[in-house]
Amino acid sequence: MILDSVRVGIVGVSGYGGGELARLLAMHPKAELTYVTSGTYKGKPLSTALPGVAGRINLTCEEFDIDTAVAKCDVVFLAGEAGLAMKLAEPLIGAGKKVIDLSADFRLKSTAHYQQWYKSEHTAPHMIDQAVYGLPELNRETIKKASLIANPGCYPTSAILALAPLLKHIPFIRGGELIDPKTIIIDSHSGVSGAGRSKFGLDYHFSEVNESIKPYGVGGVHRHVPEIEQALGQVAGHDITVTFTPHLSPVTRGILTTAYANMNLDAEDYGVDRVHAIFQAVYQNEPFVVVMDPGQFPATKYAEGTNYCYIGVAVDERTNRVIVISAEDNLVKGMAGQAIQNMNLMCGFDETDGLQMVGMWP
């Protein structure tokens, strides 16, 4: 259904994801923010939680109420804690609303995998098949028809966009894939905002984070591993297993991912120009993926405040490996911006509406 405009609600507006949604929606030409909830700031102006919206959004944070949400909203973003969408998605969709969940509640298609990686029972397994994984570059046409979107994680967005072209079927290559998928290694660095606004542990103190880079979730235990493998498996048409190591870096915003894989062809015969041509072909019509020229590589600064993902490719002929580097803003393309991109598709808007901002520099 193509709509002229929509009324939008954000459940959990005072977190970094919810706050970024509010900032971006304030600039959207076809969306009106009509309902915001926050347990921490209920009864207070939204500008108390998000000072930057003062004078732009004159709403009061409310305690969530299903009847109020149904009355005030056409689209509801669920930006609260894990488990919230399992409770709220069904009644909202039953009332004819479109729901975009920013948590991991519906990203994994296996309840067993969810229980294994998130250490809790999935309480709405009957909704999983209804949820569409909201990476437009993979699932655009399905997203257009969806009522429930599982918005991707920030790390998975950067990793999947970096690796998907390498797993597309190429008939003349052994096995149809440019790379050996068993050799995929993903090394990612995230800004501190990726931990969310409510984490107050020692690891996130300024003096602990500043001038230091720290790995975590080492050894294949990070919760984004199955999400990355599931999406890459969708592209490849078979199971994919990756080595993924995330790092906390002393910046506020941004994710820089470097992915490595062995090539199935001799790199001397299939060099960077041909690999670059594959990326160009895959992403030539994607409004928010920028494939950089050979020899150029992205930095997180390029994408800061934007919904763009920048990608650079290289081939190491000595080791016969391809190297792909991607950079995004974890709060925009990695979270709120991508959620709005999904909303645009669901509502029949131009996919780029409200998301055409240019990166800040310096």
User: Tokens standing for 335?
Assistant: 């979270």
- Does residue 166 sit in the same domain as residue 86? no
Q: CATH number of the domain that 91 lies in? A: 3.40.50.720
What's the CA gap between 23 and 31, in Å, rounded? Answer: 12
pLDDT of residue 267: 79
CB 333 within 8 A of CB 290: no
CB 327 within 8 A of CB 300: yes
- Does residue 224 sit in the same domain as residue 324? yes
**Does 154 qualify as catalytic in the annotation?**
yes
Domain count across the chain: 2
- Does residue 124 sit in the same domain as residue 166? no
Positions in the chain whose pLDDT score sits under 50 = none
- Does residue 113 sit in the same domain as residue 168? no
CA-wise closest residue to 345 among 297, 304, 286: 286
- Does residue 32 sit in the same domain as residue 126? yes
- Does residue 62 sit in the same domain as residue 206? no
| Residue 182, domain extent | 155-330
pLDDT of residue 196: 87
Residue 179 lies inside a defined structural domain of this protein: yes
- Does residue 79 sit in the same domain as residue 204? no
- Does residue 198 sit in the same domain as residue 253? yes
pLDDT of residue 168: 86
| pTM of structure | 0.96
Residue 112 lies inside a defined structural domain of this protein: yes
Q: What is the pLDDT of residues 273-306, one digit of tens each?
A: 999 999 999 999 999 999 999 999 999 999 999 9
- Does residue 211 sit in the same domain as residue 281? yes
pLDDT of residue 175: 66
List 61, 73, 154, 347, catalytic entry: 154
- Does residue 82 sit in the same domain as residue 39? yes
Q: CATH number of the domain that 237 lies in? A: 3.30.360.10
pLDDT of residue 169: 72
